[in-house]
Structure 1
């Protein structure tokens, strides 16, 4: 049996800001991870490609208003930074 992925440990090196901001990024990162795992069976961010995060931003958030989309966009940028990728995303 494998251990569940620990998003807090994964993002620890790139998280900054207030406690509330860090908690929001962790919540959103976990949700992103679950959605990608359900759609593509990619359990950890180390196996993700740019298309997985782009899919999340374009298709899973299409019914959200502008502010939640922006906050998820910031979390996606943190994930890309942690993966040391130069991926660009648009809102």
Structure 2
């Protein structure tokens, strides 16, 4: 059995701000990770493609408030920055 992917360790280099902000990003990143794992069986952000994050932001958050979608976009940008890609999340 493989070890679960540690999202906190993955984001450690790009998380900044207050403790509450870092915790929010971590909670949201774990929610994104769980949704992508459920849909595409990809647990590791290194294996994600742009379409995975776009799907999450469009399909899984379509009934959420604009503020919630904004904060999830910020978290997706942190994940993208950590991966080292230039993806756009509109």
Q: TM-score of the superposition, structure 2-length normalised?
A: 0.99
Cα RMSD, aligned residues only: 0.4
Which residue is 1:68 aligned to? 68
Show the counterpart of 1:58.
58
* Whole-angstrom distance in 2 between the partners of 1:5 and 1:30: 10
Compute the displacement of 1:35 (Å): 0.2
Give the alignment's TM-score, normalised by structure 1. Answer: 0.98
List structure 1 runs of 4+ shifted beyond 2 angstroms. Answer: none
Q: Where in structure 2 are there 5+ consecutive unaligned residues?
A: none
Q: Unaligned regions of 5+ residues in structure 1, if any? A: none
Aligned residues: 90
Which residue number in structure 2 is paired with residue 77 of structure 1? 77
